[in-house]
Amino acid sequence: MLPFEEQIVSDLMEDPNGGLVVLSSGLPLSSLVASLLLLHHPSRGSLLILSASDSQKSSISRCLLLLQNPNPNLPSDVPGDLPSHHRAALYSSGAALFVTPRILVADLLTSRCVPSAVASLLILNAHRLSDTSTEAFIARLLRAQPNSPLIPVLAFSDRPHAMVSGFAKAERVMKCLFVRRLHLWPRFHVLVSADLEKEPPEVVDIRVPMSPAMKGIQSAVLEAMDACLKELRRTNKVDVEDLTVEKGLFKSFDEIVRRQLDPIWHTIGKKTKQLVSDLKTLRKLLDYLVRYDAVTYLKYLDTLRVSEGVRSVWIFADSSHKIFELAKKRVYQVVRADDMKISTDNKTTPGKKRRMINDEKEKEIEKEASSSKAGDRKIDASGGIVLEEVLEEAPKWKVLRELLEEIEEERRKEKQSTGQPMPEAASDSSDIVLVACKDERSCLQLEECISKGQHQVMREEWGKYLLGKAELHGLRKRNRKKSQEPKGFGVLDGMIASGSSENAQPSSISKLENDALLAAASEISNLAKEEIEVGDNPKINSRRKVGKGRGTGRGKGKSRKAITNVQAPGNKRKKSAENDKIQPISAETEGPPSNSDRPLEGTSHESGLEDLMDLKPLPPVQFYALDSDQHIFNVLKPSVIIAYHPDMTFVREIEIYKAENPTKKLKVYFLFYEDSTEVQKFEASIRRENGAFESLIRQKSLMMIPVDQNGRCIGPSASNEVQSINLPNSATRKAGGRKPLEKEMQVIVDMREFMSSLPNVLHQKGMRIIPVTLEVGDYVLSPLICVERKSIGDLFQSFASGRLYNQVETMIRYYRIPVLLIEFSQDKSFSFQSANEIGDDVSPTNIISKLSLLVLHFPRLRLVWSRSVHATAEIFASLKANQDEPDETKAMRVGVPSEDGIVENDVRAENYNTSAIEFLRRLPGVTDSNYRALMDNCKNLAELALLPVERLAELMGGQKAARTLKEFLDAKCPTML
């Protein structure tokens, strides 16, 4: 542990109330937690760790392993499906446990976990808390009793910027956790920077220029963003100061905008809403521009165009046209055949000559020539449209490769000069070069780039892209049919004939372009087919082309089009045996080109393939995805780190690693795209964090946390709220004398509802919460009253899915007074829509229509409209006033199908793969009556997908349903276009 970490721990332990620690992101949160776990002793009770993510759990365990070898005392998980008495035993064992808030709160309420058995409570991700969240509920259950022992609450957050969102967030979080100390540990803290900067790693900052097309796309996206922002500002609904393109680069930007717009969300027009979502899309486009290769990027754009379609505003803007154009240009170009001379004039003479031949009648020969010779153009038979492949590589790829080569070379030199391996090299892992990328996908792709070469990777992506296009058009089918008819021209068998008929009429460029794409695609698929059919011959052929493609790409740089293997005209390739005969002919007609190409091909072969394999050896490389959140420094012990996608958190982690291993030599390379938003984003993220800390420091100086005489924190105004419940109670009582509330009110709450804050608030109001698993309804207030609670989002969603109808139906079946509670959110507007949004006609999609229909069909359903959770709690109290208390065992049995016995007090989601069941129930052919049989007889959905139709029919009790399902599962996706 570094000195500053020890300081954090000892500061935190000073106050018996505990405290809230806010760290810069990337500082070693998990090793802090680990050291706190080491300090824990089972005799004092159990230590509960709340809200840890999976990756945090594993990294905490890893830190413990390091600190506490050889037999560490690792905290164990408390799974929800563990039988309740086992859970109770775990709580009282005094061990350190990871618990989810939902389980813990239910266990506390049912006294399976008693507060006296808890030594301390550790809460991670404190930035997610609010005073109505379940963690706050737990803190209150543990701390609110004035006579209970003082259980320290230790809360952590490494997202300072999230801690300052909203008004006095830190203070509110602290109050609801009953702590009074705020510990701030920014990266610029004196102790932190002293520790980290003692032996800083050697840093090399490499700026890679973006290709012109990338720059173009970037500026176009930024332009579109700016336009969207301007448009948004014009609505006068948002605070202009927050709307800058810089902030637009972050995910949290959406939150900023939404927080401002949420209270008035119903009053803003469709266009504004669309703008907000467009901004999100655009931000993604910027991000993917530096992360994805050109082909994948284009593919993503295509997908976007299909899925966003007509709704988006930005898709129609000028700049977005540019985005699409440039993205396409990075991959391929479409040129008219008659323009070709002009367009190729500046190229080498061979190219020109070949073009001349193109105009000649002997198309056959030309085709033959280009096929055997790896021509890079596809010619649409009638329209004269040529597809040129550009396949621009990501500039960083090349730089990465060179960098790796350089590293290896340096190492060799060093070895030679010292004459023996360096001392560190003794530990074999230390010569690993760690390349850190944003996501797993980039890792895989870079790995391929290193092993296969960049061009190959691009070609594969391109092939996949084309095949995808072809499949969309159901080309293969048509193709097979047509290719049987003899065709006059060879290049484009079959499908182009269909294309050509369209081309006969003057058609738009995009049409021609599409045809050209399809032609290319069909060739690729033919190629694949024939490689199987013919065997070795074409393979040799195609390999030669690989070399050539690489050669031209290399030789002439990025401006020249790299060539791929898609040029081969399909049915002619079958005559590969004749190739040799034809070759001389073509050599005659176009002698110079082939001659000049040959040597090129040779050299390229060397420069292309051999530098991959032999010439320049590479050091061992390990790829690492930042998203995966695994901390692998201590496992791999790299001496060189290349930050392929620079990230602030990762930088801090490197610093910590270096500081923990001061003797180790460490060199860090950063790969930035020059003048890109990548750089901006990196710098802005540091600025943003510092800003957040400055604001927190200011807040800390003004903070007021009340404590009682013994220095214990008094929670958030607990006393006056208990009273409020009695008021409406006594006032509305009509009959009978005024009895004081001797018995506390009880509410039965469905386990799943602990995701919401209503149980917490009900408890605040002094009600007893009984958590059980309910099959019908969310809350049972009395033997007669059952409530289905819907937040506004839920309401719309469950209307759309039809779930609400079913829920109401069952509730009506079992309860005298079924209630649908429509709960609005305090910080959002109290209404569905503004008057001008209602429209002139009764429209079936409007919420008014749906509610009316519901009410018409279920006249017994009672509606409760609540302004906020707190209002709901009051309504509940007043509805219960004249009623008996609900019976939990009865409530639980309601609506439970008799054949499958229900496990008491268990969370449904822990027993069932709820998402899979929901998915299953949405498949066509699957109904309420047959889905249980499917669940019982297949293990999971993957297995279901492979079942034969006969077996399905058995399970689903009918041929028709089974066929519907099977057909849907196996149907070809007719996407795009």
Partner 1 sequence: FASSSGQNRNAILVSHRQKGNPLLKHIRNVRWMFADIVCDYLLGQGSCALYISLRYHLLHPDYLYYRIRELQKDFKLRVVLCHVDVEDVIKPLHEVTRTALLHDCTLLCGWSFEECARYLETIKVYENKPADSIREQMDTDYLSRLTHALTSIRHVNKTDVVTLGSSFGSLSRIMDASMEELARCPGIGERKVKRLYDTFHEPFRRVS
Residues 449-478 that bind partner 1 (CB under 8 A): 468, 471-472
Answer whether 203's CB lies under 8 Å from 641's CB: no
Smallest distance from partner 1 to CB 555, Å? 31
Residue 578's Cβ-side half-sphere holds a number of Cα atoms within 13 Å equal to 12
The answer to whether 804 contacts partner 1 (rule: CB under 8 A) is yes
The answer to whether 902 contacts partner 1 (rule: CB under 8 A) is no
Smallest distance from partner 1 to CB 946, Å? 7
Total number of residues that touch partner 1 (CB under 8 A):
101
The answer to whether 912 contacts partner 1 (rule: CB under 8 A) is yes
Smallest distance from partner 1 to CB 552, Å? 28
The one among 191, 425, 587, 861 contacting partner 1 by CB under 8 A: 861
The answer to whether 116 contacts partner 1 (rule: CB under 8 A) is no
To which H or E segment does residue 817 belong?
Answer: strand 817-823
Smallest distance from partner 1 to CB 348, Å? 36
Smallest distance from partner 1 to CB 626, Å? 10
The answer to whether 878 contacts partner 1 (rule: CB under 8 A) is yes
Cα 880 from chain centroid (whole Å) = 44
Estimate the crossing angle of helix 101-109 against helix 84-92, to 10 degrees: 90
Residues 430 to 449 in contact with partner 1, rule: CB under 8 A: 439-441, 444
Smallest distance from partner 1 to CB 267, Å? 11
Choose the stretch contacting partner 1; rule: CB under 8 A; options: 27-35, 226-234, 413-421, 915-923: 915-923
Nearer to partner 1, 188 or 968 (CB): 968
Residues 938 to 967 in contact with partner 1, rule: CB under 8 A: 938-942, 944-946
Strands 385-389 and 377-379, sheet pairing: antiparallel
Separation in Å, CA 858 to CA 781, 787, 804, 807, 819: 20, 15, 12, 12, 11
- What's the CA gap between 708 and 620, in Å, rounded? 61
Nearer to partner 1, 232 or 926 (CB): 926
The answer to whether 264 contacts partner 1 (rule: CB under 8 A) is no
The answer to whether 602 contacts partner 1 (rule: CB under 8 A) is no
The one among 307, 418, 717, 723 contacting partner 1 by CB under 8 A: 307
Nearer to partner 1, 501 or 927 (CB): 927
The answer to whether 544 contacts partner 1 (rule: CB under 8 A) is no
The one among 51, 56, 100, 296 contacting partner 1 by CB under 8 A: 296
Nearer to partner 1, 2 or 821 (CB): 821
The answer to whether 697 contacts partner 1 (rule: CB under 8 A) is no
User: Which two structure tokens, joined as six digits, stand for 386?
Assistant: 């040529």
Q: Where on the phi/psi map is residue 238: left (φ > 0), alpha (ψ -120 to 50), or beta? A: beta
The one among 286, 875, 953, 962 contacting partner 1 by CB under 8 A: 875
Smallest distance from partner 1 to CB 158, Å? 18
The answer to whether 819 contacts partner 1 (rule: CB under 8 A) is yes
- Roughly how many angstroms between the first and final C-alpha of the chain, as a whole number? 58
- What's the CA gap between 76 and 49, in Å, rounded? 10
Residues 25 to 54 in contact with partner 1, rule: CB under 8 A: none
Separation in Å, CA 524 to CA 311, 518, 796: 34, 10, 47
The answer to whether 838 contacts partner 1 (rule: CB under 8 A) is yes
What sign does the dihedral 561-564-566-568 (CA atoms) show?
positive
Q: What angle do CA 348, 349, 350 make, to 5 degrees?
A: 95
- What's the CA gap between 27 and 650, in Å, rounded? 10
User: Which two structure tokens, joined as six digits, stand for 197?
Assistant: 């900067």
The answer to whether 96 contacts partner 1 (rule: CB under 8 A) is no
- What's the CA gap between 828 and 834, in Å, rounded? 13
The one among 240, 540, 718, 853 contacting partner 1 by CB under 8 A: 853
The one among 559, 856, 898, 899 contacting partner 1 by CB under 8 A: 856
- What's the CA gap between 94 and 45, in Å, rounded? 4
User: Which two structure tokens, joined as six digits, stand for 527?
Assistant: 């190629």
Q: What angle do CA 104, 185, 181 make, to 5 degrees?
A: 55
The one among 224, 227, 795, 879 contacting partner 1 by CB under 8 A: 879
The answer to whether 265 contacts partner 1 (rule: CB under 8 A) is no
The answer to whether 280 contacts partner 1 (rule: CB under 8 A) is no
User: Which two structure tokens, joined as six digits, stand for 745?
Assistant: 């009110």
Annotate 807-831 with DSSP letters as a single string. Answer: HHHHHHHH-SEEEEEEE--TTS-SS
Annotate 694-762 with DSSP letters as a single string. Answer: HHHHHHHHH----B-TTSPBP-SS-HHHHHHTHHHHHHH--SS------SPPEEEEEGGGGGSSHHHHH
Choose the stretch contacting partner 1; rule: CB under 8 A; options: 333-341, 513-521, 742-750, 839-847: 839-847
Nearer to partner 1, 322 or 803 (CB): 803
The one among 799, 828, 905, 952 contacting partner 1 by CB under 8 A: 799
- What's the CA gap between 411 and 393, in Å, rounded? 28
The one among 6, 620, 948, 968 contacting partner 1 by CB under 8 A: 968
The answer to whether 178 contacts partner 1 (rule: CB under 8 A) is no
ω into 263 cis (within 30 of 0): no
Q: Which residues pair with 642 in a beta bridge?
A: 435, 669
The one among 844, 889, 898, 901 contacting partner 1 by CB under 8 A: 844
The greatest distance separating any two alpha carbons of the chain, rounded to the nearest whole angstrom, comes to: 115
Choose the stretch contacting partner 1; rule: CB under 8 A; options: 150-158, 354-362, 537-545, 624-632: 624-632
User: Which two structure tokens, joined as six digits, stand for 402?
Assistant: 């060179």
The one among 832, 887, 894, 963 contacting partner 1 by CB under 8 A: 832
Smallest distance from partner 1 to CB 441, Å? 6
Nearer to partner 1, 320 or 372 (CB): 320
Smallest distance from partner 1 to CB 472, Å? 7
- What's the CA gap between 42 and 471, in Å, rounded? 63
Smallest distance from partner 1 to CB 685, Å? 18
The answer to whether 730 contacts partner 1 (rule: CB under 8 A) is no
Choose the stretch contacting partner 1; rule: CB under 8 A; options: 301-309, 381-389, 671-679, 775-783: 301-309
The answer to whether 850 contacts partner 1 (rule: CB under 8 A) is yes
- What's the CA gap between 109 and 829, in Å, rounded? 33
The answer to whether 826 contacts partner 1 (rule: CB under 8 A) is no
Smallest distance from partner 1 to CB 43, Å? 33
The answer to whether 679 contacts partner 1 (rule: CB under 8 A) is no
Residues 321 to 350 in contact with partner 1, rule: CB under 8 A: none
The one among 306, 342, 509, 722 contacting partner 1 by CB under 8 A: 306
Q: Where on the phi/psi map is residue 960: left (φ > 0), alpha (ψ -120 to 50), or beta? A: alpha
The answer to whether 825 contacts partner 1 (rule: CB under 8 A) is no
The one among 920, 952, 953, 956 contacting partner 1 by CB under 8 A: 920
The one among 335, 632, 871, 894 contacting partner 1 by CB under 8 A: 871
Contacts of 464 (CB under 8 A, 6+ apart): 295
Q: How many residues does the chain have?
A: 977
Answer whether 27's CB lies under 8 Å from 158's CB: yes
- What's the CA gap between 585 and 827, in Å, rounded? 79
Choose the stretch contacting partner 1; rule: CB under 8 A; options: 192-200, 204-212, 614-622, 837-845: 837-845
The answer to whether 801 contacts partner 1 (rule: CB under 8 A) is yes
- What's the CA gap between 118 and 289, in Å, rounded? 50
Contacts of 738 (CB under 8 A, 6+ apart): 730
Choose the stretch contacting partner 1; rule: CB under 8 A; options: 38-46, 150-158, 911-919, 954-962: 911-919
What sign does the dihedral 556-557-559-560 (CA atoms) show?
positive
Q: What strands, in cross-sheet order, belong to the sheet with 385-389?
A: 332-336, 385-389, 377-379
- What's the CA gap between 824 and 814, in Å, rounded? 26
The one among 867, 893, 951, 963 contacting partner 1 by CB under 8 A: 867
